Structure 1
Amino acid sequence: MEYHSDRFKEASLLIFRNDKLVAVFPMNAVGNTVISHQGLTYGGLLFGTNVKFNHVLAIFRAVLKHLSESKITTLGLKVLPDIYASFPNDELKYLMFILQAKLERRDVLSVIPLSEVVKRSKDRKEGTKRGVKNGLVVKEETQMEGFWKSLLEVNLQQKYKTKPVHSLEEIQLLKSRFPKNIRQFNVYYKNRLVAGTTIFETEHVAHSQYISGNNENNTLGSLDFLHSYLIDTVFKDKKYFDFGISNENAGKNINSGLLYWKEGFGARTVTQDFYSIQTNKYTLLDAVLL
């Protein structure tokens, strides 16, 4: 994460048990609050599959006690969506209940379970057929510049007056470090770049982190064609395909057009929760185990 260390005040923790590392908690500080690292899409308390419930409880209590004694009053926790876990890990959701944590935000992810036969809408099928008819070609690229400069940055600026979370230089750096996990797929019409997506790939999930097409998208069917190809061919052996969130306004609103497009592929809702916890409430965990 050091590539954007200038943006965040580092506050990550390592948790040990008898000199053995048992958990890590990526965090950054904002005043007297620490937050699940804002430089990470997903995160929270990370631990291995051999860590049982009572150990998670003890770990989280130790974290809260340490923060409280360090004059940190609030912990902002970003809970890992279930589809990204390699093992059941809802311990923290239960601890949020015990700690009387406040649910600050809940995002909606649109996810396809790839092990199931999922029906697509008429619109998505027709869009894919237009892509075939127009002779579109999907290519996996090693360079991100074409997509970033000619499509992604232009569209985000025109539609939302914003920029991608990652600059071109940052995403190129990350791709050089994680070439098997960050993949770029572009769509070409008569050798001209018309659409693309940047995929963040984990063990079980292919996540479309950035999606963009030019103003010919509806005519050519480029984004429908691209994602049908990725879902049916490239990532068909994954457990899930994640289109990411359609939320705006800190989770309080949903872009209905974007959601409609994603659900047309058969995607349905998985949520990601964000909690705030008063660190001095760590003693509430003492009475959980009988």
Structure 2
Amino acid sequence: MYSIAQYTTSHYSLWNDFIAQTKNGTFLFHRDYMEYHSDRFEDFSLLLFNNEKLVAVFPANREGGVVHSHKGLTYGGLLYGNKTKLADVIVLYRILLEYLANNTITTLHVKPVPAIYHKFPAQEQEYVLFLLNATLSRRDGLSVIDRNNLLPVTKSRKEAIRRGVKNGLSIAEEPNFKLFWEEILIPNLQHRHKVKPVHSLEEIIYLHNKFPDRIRHFNVYDNDRIVAGTTVYLTDTVAHPQYISGEEDRNALGSLDYLYNHIIDLFADKRYFDFGPSTEEQGLKLNHGLVFWKESFGARTIIQDFYEIDTANFGLLDTVLI
């Protein structure tokens, strides 16, 4: 009844149409997004069929005998529709792991989509990972505002926001990423962390052109001089600043606080505002100052887990259903 196919370009429309209907998928799994960095990864994405009907997909890349759900994406794992139930996911994972084991894959790394990004309850996968004796290899803490349960902004944060108003800062949505990338983001990342942005300027422009309603950018100006900016990713349930950076004197101007306050209010139609993680070194270290700043806006912690699975464990699922 079940079969698996490795993704090819012939599946492009089938894949994308299915992603739009999943309960735990976002636009990051659209092939136009996934393939912007196809030169960096050996794609090993899989489609799972039941009686020739597509019932799940697994965005992935391969590195020798290891498959990752996909290293080029923030989150991943098995994606499925509203009608898929817990027993179905047990069967699907059994078939998936046996397929991988039969194709000389010994290890599968999975980073399930955090629950705040689900359109409907969709943590069947996490239960199955428990059944498979999956190893928790990393745990990040995401700082999240839940608009259904708002907490107050602290006095110090309100003062910083007012500083931005007092200094006459202005915020503008920009379709051009060049100024922020070249004047703020790249110099800051190089100076502070000796790294480059995950997306090059050309890549973020390409992605914005593909997903103009999902990827939006805002700059903060002191008169005509850019002092900060943010690139925001929008899913059905979450607003998430993918990039945010400001000049060294941003605290004096209040630019980042002013900007965050603006975009939190602007995307009030999203239930969650995800500041992202403040954890480092595979989740073993916490940047206390950073998480304190996020929590001062009323954010609290949601967990994102990362797992490692021995594909030979697929037989553990044979005796689960009673």
The TM-score range, normalised by the shorter chain, is over 0.9
Structure 2 residue identity aligned to 1:285: L
For residue 197 of structure 2, give the secondary structure of its aligned residue in structure 1: coil
Per-residue deviation, 1:251: 1.7
Moved over 4 A (4+): none
Cα contact 1:114–1:237 (8 A) shared by 2: no
Distance 1:202 1:127 in 2: 28
Q: Does residue 171 of structure 2 align to residue 138 of structure 1?
A: yes
Highest relative contact order (Cα 8 Å, sep 6+), 1 or 2?
Answer: 1
Root-mean-square deviation (Å): 0.9
For residue 261 of structure 1, give the secondary structure of its aligned residue in structure 2: helix
Cα contact 1:112–1:268 (8 A) shared by 2: yes
Distance 2:300 2:198 in 1: 25
Q: Which residue of 2 aligns with 1:98?
A: 131
Aligned match for 1:59, one of 82, 85, 92: 92
Distance 1:238 1:2 in 2: 27
Cα contact 1:36–1:77 (8 A) shared by 2: yes
Distance 2:312 2:101 in 1: 6
Distance 1:225 1:171 in 2: 24
For residue 176 of structure 1, give the secondary structure of its aligned residue in structure 2: helix
Instruction: Give TM-score, length-normalised by structure 2.
Output: 0.88
Structure 1 residue identity aligned to 2:62: A
Aligned match for 2:278, one of 231, 241, 246: 246
**Percentage of pairs with the same residue:** 54
Query: Deviation string for 1:89-136 (max 9, x for gaps)?
Result: 111111111111100000111100022332112221111000011111
Q: Which residue of 2 aligns with 1:221?
A: 254
Q: Does residue 90 of structure 2 align to residue 68 of structure 1?
A: no
Cα contact 2:59–2:70 (8 A) shared by 1: yes
Query: Deviation string for 1:153-186 (max 9, x for gaps)?
Result: 1110000000111111100000000000000011
Q: Does residue 310 of structure 2 align to residue 278 of structure 1?
A: yes
Distance 1:83 1:38 in 2: 20
Q: Does residue 222 of structure 2 align to residue 189 of structure 1?
A: yes
Structure 1 residue identity aligned to 2:271: K
Query: Deviation string for 1:249-286 (max 9, x for gaps)?
Result: 12211211111111110111011111111111101111
Aligned match for 2:297, one of 265, 269, 274: 265
Query: Deviation string for 1:42-79 (max 9, x for gaps)?
Result: 21111111111111111111100000111111110111
Query: Deviation string for 1:197-228 (max 9, x for gaps)?
Result: 11000011000111100012111100101111
Per-residue deviation, 1:288: 1.1
- Structure 2 unaligned residues grouped into runs of 5+: 1-33
Per-residue deviation, 1:39: 1.1
Aligned match for 1:25, one of 58, 68, 77: 58
Instruction: Give TM-score, length-normalised by structure 1.
Output: 0.98
Q: Which residue of 1 aligns with 2:121?
A: 88
Structure 1 residue identity aligned to 2:137: E
Q: Does residue 234 of structure 2 align to residue 201 of structure 1?
A: yes
- Structure 1 unaligned residues grouped into runs of 5+: none
